[in-house]
Structure 1
Amino acid sequence: MEKVVIEKMDFSYPKKALLFEGLDLELSRGKVVGLLGKNGAGKSTLMRLMAGLLKPTKGVVLCDGEMAFDREPHFLDQLMFIPEQIALPDHLKVGEYAKVYRDFYLGFDEIRIQHLLSDFQLGLKERVSNLSYGQQKKLQIAIGLSTRAKLILLDEPTNGLDIPSKTAFRKLISANIQEDQLVVISTHQIKDIDHLIDQVVILEEGKIKLQADLDALEEAFVFGQGAVAPLDAIYTETHLLGARYIAKSQGESEGSPDLEMLFQAVMEGRIQGQYLSTSNPVMQ
């Protein structure tokens, strides 16, 4: 999977107002992309459009130049979509359920699934019906990573996971993603994808307000904190111990971008546009 390209796309549900209008977006392989937005911004719908489960009202969603909605067999072999709500068969054991996916994905990695199930503390002989919601999520994530699909779409994958499992999730995503894969993670729990993603896409009311590589953001801005914010700060949050802020970079850097602060700055219109490593940053 080289890239996903969305061009001039409109979409609305029947008898509903347009959710997306003239949407353009390009995502390339080798990235872990965080898709952020408030509830109702269109994150889950955008995921389903990329998976070919919904058809654009206008425009196209292309995966390596082919219509996602056509859902050709070779496209499905390279696609793994894990929705927020999962319906799993009650009568199967964990090992049997994993075997179902092995039969559908040509690149299914038998060794990887064994390691991932062990890392998530899931036994092969446990019945799926006996798993908690969080355990079911971990099972689906383990299977998704084992398919070696080139396009992996994860919708709210950390919902239902406890803190140790969220830590394990971040480590396993980092350790099991290869350069020929594109992973898109939709979440409203911004802290869960800290130090995991390479690129962030922020949606608001069906529009892309920001698409940025984190290393490009680090070059363009300072995400700092201190007793007071500098006068030229673009965005400021005050608290009892001082202030956190975003300011334009003058060549200095104070660490990785703070995703929660970035999200609030975008919601307030302080930062918008594209900041991509392969192109000049554009601020609108």
Structure 2
Amino acid sequence: MISIKKLSFSYPKKPRLCEEMDLELGEGKIIGLLGMNGAGKSTLMRLMAGLLKPVSGEVKFQEISTFDRAVSFLNQMIFVPEKVSVPEFLKVNEYVSIYKDFYTGFDLERFEKLLSEFQIIGNQRISNLSFGQQKKLQIAIGLSTGAKLLLFDEPTNGLDIPSKSTFRRVLSGSLQEDQTMVISTHQVKDIENLVDQIIVLDEGKVKLHADLEALENQFVFSQGPQAPEQAVFVESHLLGAQYITRQLEGERISGGSPDLELLFNAVIAGKLTGEFLSTQNQVTHE
């Protein structure tokens, strides 16, 4: 689906945000893109969308360079930025009647259902919508395009708690086998139990790209009064500690779904990396 090879990028007179980055994203996955502020999450999303040109290397969608902005690519990609910009003089239904013509697979019935889920009325003027409602409008459009590649940058920013719950509900199980969704966020809890894969960016590098199922098979994410000595990563708090330990061979322990916030902190601290996971895989299969 998306192939990134030897990608480097920087803005003029600023440090590089991507440095010789390699990444492959397959179909049928919801991928969480995590990183600290300034780590380059939004920049990577814009490179995937073809809105920025790499300094070197390549970003391809099904062998098409994204920066070429070919019609065949644009028809299969939707990018929902963190800061929405919509024509406020139009009504919602007028806006979508224009937007849908750019996507041959646009599902108007699904769009209207999502509007209902998000409690937005079609004949409302966009200027009368709050920022959160405008954000939900863009999300509803994005999910209705039928695009193969969906890029959502901080989609839950500006949403209240019920809207976040609705976002997770409508997204869960709605992705088709030939679609890929990348969600960039710093609000890790908003995408827990939703994503299939996780990517952690730090210092211009991909520090981790892993399936959550594989992580669950290799590690236990738990908490208690005290962390065991063999813990890979520990975070202490007033009531004890949260920690990550390795699964013992032949003793599968259920620790539930990986705690993404704990996982992210472990990666940033250098306790869990792609290299570490590769080593664990080698040990497991020996």
Relative to the length of structure 1, the TM-score reads 0.95
Q: Distance in 1 between matches of 2:237 and 2:10?
A: 41
Aligned to 2:244: 246
Q: Deviations over 1:18-66 (max 9, x none)?
A: 2211110111110000000000000000000000010111110011111
Q: How does 1:162-201 map to 2 (within 5 A)?
A: 162-201=160-199
- The sequence identity of aligned pairs, in percent, is 59
Give the drift of 1:179. 1.2
Mean Cα deviation higher: 236-245 or 32-41: 236-245
Give the drift of 1:274. 6.3
Give the drift of 1:110. 1.2
Give the aligned CA root-mean-square deviation in angstroms.
Answer: 1.7
SS of 1:264's equivalent in the other structure is helix
Q: Deviations over 1:64-110 (max 9, x none)?
A: 11101011101100000000111110111011111112111100001
Partner amino acid, structure 1, of 2:73: F
Q: Distance in 2 between matches of 1:25 and 1:177?
A: 21
SS of 1:91's equivalent in the other structure is coil
Q: Distance in 2 between matches of 1:78 and 1:276?
A: 33
Q: Distance in 2 between matches of 1:239 and 1:174?
A: 32
Give the drift of 1:280. 7.7
SS of 1:53's equivalent in the other structure is coil
Aligned to 1:155: 153
User: Which runs of no fewer than 5 residues in structure 2 stay unpaired?
Assistant: none
CA 1:69–1:281 in 2, change beyond 3 Å: closer, same or farther? farther
Aligned to 1:130: 128
Contact 1:212-1:275 within 8 A present in 2 as well: no
Aligned to 2:116: 118
Aligned to 1:255: 256
Q: 1:217 aligns with which of 185, 192, 215?
A: 215
Q: Distance in 1 between matches of 2:276 and 2:168?
A: 24
Give the drift of 1:282. 6.8
Give the drift of 1:253. 2.2
Aligned to 1:76: 74
CA 1:202–1:270 in 2, change beyond 3 Å: closer, same or farther? same
Q: Distance in 2 between matches of 1:151 and 1:5?
A: 12
Contact 1:213-1:275 within 8 A present in 2 as well: no
Aligned length: 280
Q: Deviations over 1:197-228 (max 9, x none)?
A: 00000001211110010000000101011221
Give the drift of 1:254. 1.2
Q: Distance in 2 between matches of 1:110 and 1:10?
A: 39
Q: Distance in 2 between matches of 1:117 and 1:282?
A: 48
Give the drift of 1:194. 0.7
CA 1:62–1:14 in 2, change beyond 3 Å: closer, same or farther? same
Q: Deviations over 1:134-157 (max 9, x none)?
A: 000000000000001000000000
SS of 2:90's equivalent in the other structure is coil
Mean Cα deviation higher: 79-88 or 8-17: 8-17
Structure 1 moving runs of 4+ over 6 Å: 274-277
SS of 1:176's equivalent in the other structure is coil
User: Which runs of no fewer than 5 residues in structure 1 stay unpaired?
Assistant: none
Relative to the length of structure 2, the TM-score reads 0.94
